[in-house]
Structure 1
Amino acid sequence: MPEGHSVHRIARQFALHFVGKQVAVSSPQGRFAAGAERIDGLRMLSAKAVGKQMFLEFEHDRWLRVHLGLYGAWDFAGNFTADATTASASGRMGQTNQHGTVVDGADAVADGADGTAAAGTVVGEHEDSLASIGAPRRTRLRMSEQEKASDEVSDFPPEPIGAVRVRLLTADTCADLRGPTACEVLTPDEVQVALNKLGPDPLVDDNGEAEERFVATVRKKQTAIGLLLMDQSVVSGIGNVYRAEILFRARLDPHTPGKLIPEELVRELWRDWATLLEIGVTTGQMMTMDGLTADDYTAALASRDDRHWVYHREGLPCRVCGTNIVMELASARKLYWCPSCQAPLAKRP
């Protein structure tokens, strides 16, 4: 499932290439025909990501809500910028980072099948990032839990490939949605109901208020922090990778009840999430290791194996203490952690 940084990157594509334009909307698959008819021919007004969900605003108070879920993906084709992180402030849907600024895009490299650097693949949970293409060109890009660019498009608009739930089409750019968990047209009131169910997102909400909300929610819960971080009503956008890495970076036992975690440590969790999310949106990769040399950083950009502290490292020695990393199931999702570095708070010196 795409984590928060991926959905923000997708929203930026819409902000940069669809907002302000009249959009032809159809459902090649047929399952979304009625919804497509409600927004067909309308101008897109804004594109907003909150956690793992995206909200596209159209004229006449109509919104398209999309949750990609486990299998959903957007395929972009036509003239577009493959790395939209260089979008202007208006292209960022009014979002800023915690310092009130818009960060520039960062070039990245990708690993090939043999683990060596190879251009053309961009990352989500399991892959790596596409180098910024820069100026728009007629090409294809799939965006979901991973991003993958392909050859240039010869005919535009291209024929739909597979079961396309909804197609959004302008004179220059086409976006096809496949396999989402949710795809529906909502009124503003219905959008607000959906938003009210979501926890704070560092790239959307006022960071001070969002931090206070997160801290207050976590510190009143008996639930283990390893489960709270995956609860989208507690905090938006964190998935399996970020959950494991944020907890390791805090040296926090994932089984610790939220209410037993010192307030300052809960605040550190929030601030670290805000930092990692911004890095993920900028680079297209979940880069969670820090303190790296220039060479190590380049290696981490090139290979997931060099990018994370504990995620996907079951049975391998901890990069800090040498203890084997453990994997267990937590609410049917894989949780990776170091039993030594992440010892219970009561056992810390």
Structure 2
Amino acid sequence: MKRMKKQSENIRSQMSDAQRLSELRIVLMGYRAAGKSSTGNSILGREEFDLKASAQCVRRHGEVADRHITVIEAPGWWMNEPVEESPELLKQEIVLSVSLCPPGAHAVLLIIRVDIGFKETERKALQGHLDLLGERVWNHTIVLFTCGDSLLDTSIEKHIESEGEDLQWLLDKCGNRYHVLNNQNRSDDTQIKELLEKIEETVTQNNGCHFEIDRKILQETDGRKKMKEQIDKLREDIRSLTMSGDDGSDSCSLGSSAYGSFRSRSGSDSIFGSSRSRDSSHTSYVSGAIKKHNSMDLIPPNCEWILIYFVLFLFFYFEIFQYTLVSF
């Protein structure tokens, strides 16, 4: 623990007034109920963040200690929940959070409650969610302990020692950068000023650079988000169809619309080469099935859903294939 204190003191002694930043961009991350919103309010000195959980990122601005501060709060995960079990929307928001303060965040504050034990399950969940941002994010991360008043007369160093190897692993991963915050004592400006100084120390450690997420990670996340929006829209179309009647006319219209959408997005020679003959055969098959349904009424009522799902299958198959090619 003495080594951790010494490292922080050495960095602070190297900083001059010329290295103070007039602008700081901060991203708050952590599990649910860790104190992210309260931390954002403490940093800005006013009630800017709603204490209720949000499914999307929240961005706020303010002037603090002669600096323009931008704070992004990312939605939190359940404390013991592995990243594999987290909703896709949550993971997308975590990735997109660091892009909401261009050109990049000066620091990611990893919020942990000091009054709750930090063991292997919490460590694995935290590691998995932060790894969504890539390995480089750890170079810009500071562990921020909230509920500092619960320590009473115990120093944070003694608390870290008592918690064991999982918390020590986390601190080592973050370059032993940490800070303690008492969110209940808003009148103490010292703790916020010291936090901002530690963020500037982190920038100094990174040679004056901010965190910039890998462009490929952003592209993949944006692609999955757009695909989900398309799926949701088609589901809504199908839901509307079930409420419009059983005459079959709307179902054929939907099938034609969905197929037209997938063809327009996937028929490019640059992606599929000489696939026009295959595209033409799909067109003949689908249009033939629709004509039979309309004119000869040979398809039983329940089979109209087979036609719809077949068209949707073609649509998503080529969507995924196209996205895979673009990613590479």
**TM-score normalized with structure 2 length:** 0.26
Higher relative contact order (CA 8 A, sep 6+): 1
- Name the structure where helix makes up a greater proportion of residues: 2
- Name the structure where strand makes up a greater proportion of residues: 1
**TM-score normalized with structure 1 length:** 0.25
